[in-house]
Structure 1
C-alpha cells in the first residue's frame, strides 16, 4: 500500500490513537524538521553506527538551547556497555530519557550491573530506559520478557523493545503478534511504560491499534527516511505518520 493510501486509511480508521510518538534524529537539520510535527519524544542517535549508537553530545546541548521554551521530551541513545557508562554523565539534566543497549548481558546480574553503572552518573531528572532486543540471541542478551521482569525488580519504569541487527526484519517479524501481546500484558502487570521500535512501518502501527494492543509509545526512524534508517528524513513520510495522530492536529 502506498504512503498516501496508508495515511488516508489511518486518518479514517485510527481515531483516538493514544500512543506517544518517538522520532529519532541524527543532526541539527533533522531536529529542526521534526519539530514541525506532533512528536512526543525527540530521540538522538547515530543510525549509521549501530542500533543505539550515540550522536555527538554537542547535539544534546543544541537541543536543550533550541527547546528552552518547551517542546517534546528529549531522549539520548548512549550505546552499549562501557560506552554508555562513559557518556551518561554528559546527558543534560533537561533530557527526559537515556537509553542503554544490553548486548552481551546474558544474566540478570549483568544487566542490572549495567543499569546501575549508567544510572549513577545520570542526573536525577533523566529516566533510564531499559532496552530489550527482539533478536536477543543475535545481541547475546536477555530476552525481552527477561528484560521487562528485571527492569521492574530493579526499579526502572520505562522499557523499549528494539532490534539489534538492522537487517530489515522488524520487531514484529521476529517476535510475532502473540509475543507482542504478551509483552504488553507483562508491561501492564509490572506497571511499566513501554515503547516498541525496530523497523516499524506505518502499516504495523495501524495493525497494532486495529488489534487493540496497548503500546505506550511507537519509536520510528527507518520508515521516516528515504534510503533506510541511515538515509534522509522525508517530509512526505513524516506527514503520513502524522496523519495517524489525528487527535494532535
Structure 2
C-alpha cells in the first residue's frame, strides 16, 4: 500500500539523516533532563521554550483515520492524506533535530563521553531517564568507591608502562585486602554509628577524588585513573547483565550502577 501511495519514496527523498552510522537519541528523555522541573514534556512545549517554530497540529485520531482509509482503499484522496501524515512526521523529526542543535546537546554528550571514556550511545542511554516501567532492580552499592578499592586505583598505584608492570609482578607485589568492620556490628551499637560515619566520609572523599581526577583543570588530573574507574564500572555492569540474561531474565534498562529486569515466567 505504501509503495502504491508513493509515501516511502517521498519520505526517503526528504530525509536529511540516513540511519547508517547514527546514534538513536530519545529527544523527549533528553529534554526531560534539561527541563526536569517543568510540568509539561511535549515537543510543542520544548519548541516554544526554545523560541523555535511550532510543529504541525494533527490529532492522533485523524492520523489513525487516514491510515485506516489508506489500508482499505487507494485513491487520490488517501494518497494526499498519507502525504500529510508523512509531512507531519518529518517536521516532527526536523523539530527534534533543531532542538538538539539549539541546546548543543550532542556536543555535551561528546564532552561527557570524552571525559568518562564512554561511547556516545552509552552516554545517552545510560544517562538515567524515565525509559521503561521497571520490574526488578539490581544495584551496585557505592560502585565507584568499591571499584577504586577493589582494583587499587589511585595515582601512586597507576602503572603506565609494561616494563614497570612486569617488574612489580616479578617482585611479588599484591593488592591489600580491605575488610569492612561496618558489617560486624548491630545497627543500634555505638561503634556501628562511628564506623558508618567514617565509611560515609571515605565514600564522599573517594567519589570527589574520582571527579577531580577527571577534571583537566585540576592539579590531580589523571585521565588514566578516571578512565580506569568508569571502564571498570562498565565491565562489571555488563558482566552482571550477561550473567543475569543467561539465567533467563530480560534486561529492560540499565545505567552506570543499576540494572532493571523482568523475571522469567517460571518465577511467577
TM above 0.5, yes or no, is no
Structure 1 or 2, whichever has the larger Rg, is: 2
What is the TM-score normalised by the length of structure 2? 0.22
Q: Which has the higher strand share?
A: 1
Q: Which has the higher helix share?
A: 2
